[in-house]
Amino acid sequence: MAVDARNQAAVAAAPPSGGAPVHVAIIMDGNGRWAARRGLPRVEGHRRGVEAVRRSVRAASDLGVRYLTLYSFSSENWRRPATEVADLLGLLKRFIRHDLAELHAANVRVRIIGDRDSLSADLQALLCEAEDLTRANTGLVLAIAFNYGGRQEIVRAVRRLAREVKAGRLDPEAIDMAHIDAALDTHGIPDPDLVIRTSGEHRVSNFLPWQATYAEYVFLPDLWPDFDHATFEAAIGEFMRRDRRFGGLSARTA
């Protein structure tokens, strides 16, 4: 069976069984339940979730992770009550305004993935500022998935390619996985090796469906505000015990 060059490159770049993940992506879930169990308003759960984001960024650097993608706000989250959406947007703005200087000083590069067209002008400007300020940094790459949906991302990529075809700059028969990959929001970022979801749910929730084709998933019972260095380290330990075959024979039994 022929293997596409894009898949070959992804497999070649992935760490072998027993190796630490290069790219970790996290579905941060459970803020509301964390607050409800304590009789607190949901916004307090989201505030504590921001603290967990700070811990996860520091832990990723400590654990040798080079790329960290956090699912902060999905395309479907707009369906939540307007007050909660406003709280989430406000927390994102405060996180960027208050933490950007620290991230920059720590040599972290910030990337934003997701649809920006429907966002307010001030929020778009803030996201661009975060990317522009940290663009030359060479440490951890922190990708924040905001107003993000995986299927919507693929639609945007297809439209970009369709415009290239319409303009005569691209032969439709030449389109391959590498072209689609380059048209995605995550271009330049390697595929995730490990996807973590907190809160005990076992869904992928429209998160990186193209990129996570070969990822290992770890589903944790912990609610996101309780996520810390030890939890992160344990998830990586679970990943390193997995036998990654990528469609081939096990390296341990071949």
Host H or E run for residue 217 = strand 216-219
Say whether 137 counts as a known binding-site residue.
Answer: no
- How far is 32 from 225, CA to CA, in rounded Å? 10
- How far is 118 from 95, CA to CA, in rounded Å? 20
Say whether 17 counts as a known binding-site residue.
Answer: no
Residue with tokens 């028969």: 173
- How far is 147 from 219, CA to CA, in rounded Å? 23
From 29, 87, 185, 222, active-site residue: 29
Q: Among 143, 195, 197, which residue's Cα sits nearest to residue 30?
A: 197
Say whether 238 counts as a known binding-site residue.
Answer: no
Say whether 64 counts as a known binding-site residue.
Answer: no
Give catalytic status of residue 132 as yes or no.
no
Say whether 29 counts as a known binding-site residue.
Answer: yes
Say whether 74 counts as a known binding-site residue.
Answer: yes
Say whether 75 counts as a known binding-site residue.
Answer: yes
Q: Beta partners for 143?
A: 69, 111
Give catalytic status of residue 29 as yes or no.
yes
- How far is 103 from 250, CA to CA, in rounded Å? 39
Say whether 197 counts as a known binding-site residue.
Answer: yes
From 77, 115, 137, 206, active-site residue: 77
Residues contributing to the annotated binding site: 29-34, 42, 46, 74-76, 78, 80, 197, 203-205, 216
**Which residues are catalytic, by number?**
29, 77
Residues contributing to the annotated binding site for substrate: 30-34, 42, 46, 74-76, 78, 80, 197, 203-205
